Amino acid sequence: LKSKFLAAIGAAGDEARLEEVRLAALGKKGEISALMATLGKMDPEERKATGARLNLLRDEIDTALRAKKAALADAALDARLREEWLDVTLPGRPRRMGTIHPVSQVMDELTAIFADMGFSVAEGPQVESDWYNFDALNIPPEHPARQEHDTFFMARAEGDNRPPHVLRTHTSPVQIRAMADRGAPIRVIAPGRVYRMDMDQTHTPMFHQVEGLAIDRDISMANLKWVLEEFCRAFFEVPSVELRFRASHFPFTEPSAEVDIRCSWEGGQLKIGQGESWLEILGSGMVHPKVLAAAGVDPDQWQGFAFGMGIDRIAMLKYGIPDLRAFFESDLRWLRHYGFAA
Ligand code: PHE
């Protein structure tokens, strides 16, 4: 009997089977319990001897059952631990965070640099009336400059009597709005989107400009030169820059100048601030008296400079980006390559 039960205990593969064995041996209807029940009918001598052996057998079976039960529990725990094993030393999975678009980063940077020089930010609408975009800037309807701007015109239904509107072709109309709003003296920049029908490696139909405007009693081209040099030193993070002012023409400034920055190409790498080459970065000049007058500022008392700079262009220069179109494709691989995205 003993070896039968010990064998059954050894063979039990799980706790349910082990419980069956326990019931068969020690349960109320178990074989050992049945033998115990016969003790009552024995005479004292026999009962004592048999009882002692039965107790011993019961204890041995009981011990074996407990040992097996513990072993099964251990095995189950081991199996679970193996299954649910977790390596807490593994590095975490990186979570990709959104980042600010490079053009927005550059806008923030230049806004901060000009803020240090006393310029606040002015804004205007991207759908602009043709008066603000052209007429007020001394570009009357038949002026050839209108054609050069590759303007997007807003469609107008028959009988629509509102003044004609365009997608602004430059940020210069914000000069007019800012002066009309705030009067003189004034020192503002106006960063924002502008639109022209043009598309190649260095042109996109939407791009960004920042307008600068400083009007006071005796502001001159010398102030313009200093402001632009300070800006370029800070923006390109170089100890010194050299700017070249080339005589030019804009209807809204007189005199006018296009400004180039000194640079070099070393093994395909663009270096700003030194070298033999020049790169055009902006248009500028002294605000034309007619423009001041159109904005309600008296040209006999006030004068100042204005400039318009391509934001995407200076971003390309700063980060060595060859193709402007990439800015507007939102290709994450491209953004990551230039360190603009995680
Ligand atoms: N608005 C001009 C352009 O888009 C730039 C400019 C701004 C020139 C202000 C002079 C003064 O080309």
Query: What pLDDT, on a 0 to 100 scale, did the predictor assign at position 249?
Result: 95
Pairing assessment for the beta strands 186-195 and 206-216 based on DSSP bridges = antiparallel
- Rounded distance from Cα 191 to ligand 1 centre (Å): 13
- pTM for the model stands at 0.73
Q: What is the mean pLDDT of the chain?
A: 92
Residue scoring higher pLDDT (322 or 58): 58
User: Cα–Cα distance between 141 and 193 in angstroms, integer?
Assistant: 23
Please indicate if the annotation marks 254 as binding a ligand.
yes
**Residues 168, 194 contacting (CB under 8 angstroms):** yes
Residue 162 has pLDDT above 90, yes or no: no
Ligand 1 contacts CB of residue 304 (under 6 A): no
Residue 121, beta-bridge partner list: 189
Atom of ligand 1 nearest to the CA of 194: 4
For residue 165, how far is the Cα from the chain centroid? 34
Residue 342 has pLDDT above 80, yes or no: no
Pairing assessment for the beta strands 269-272 and 127-129 based on DSSP bridges = unpaired
Mean pLDDT score, 249-260: 97
Whose CA is closest to atom 12 on ligand 1?
A: 283
Query: What pLDDT, on a 0 to 100 scale, did the predictor assign at position 267?
Result: 73
Ligand 1 contacts CB of residue 283 (under 6 A): yes
State pLDDT tens for residues 127-159. Answer: 999 999 999 999 998 888 888 788 999 998 888
| Long-range contact set of residues 116-120: C-beta below 8 Å, sequence gap at least 24 | 116/234, 117/187, 117/227, 117/230, 117/231, 118/187, 119/187, 119/188, 119/189, 119/212, 119/214, 120/187, 120/188, 120/189
Whose CA is closest to atom 5 on ligand 1?
A: 308
State pLDDT tens for residues 79-133. Answer: 888 888 888 899 988 888 888 888 999 999 999 999 999 999 999 999 999 999 9
- Rounded distance from Cα 172 to ligand 1 centre (Å): 6
Ligand 1 contacts CB of residue 149 (under 6 A): no
Ligand 1 contacts CB of residue 133 (under 6 A): no
**Closest-CA residue to 195 (of 145, 164, 152, 144):** 152
Whose CA is closest to atom 6 on ligand 1?
A: 308
How many CB atoms lie under 10 A from the CB of residue 315? Answer: 22
Helix (H) or strand (E) holding 3: helix 2-11
Query: What pLDDT, on a 0 to 100 scale, did the predictor assign at position 227?
Result: 98
- Rounded distance from Cα 256 to ligand 1 centre (Å): 9
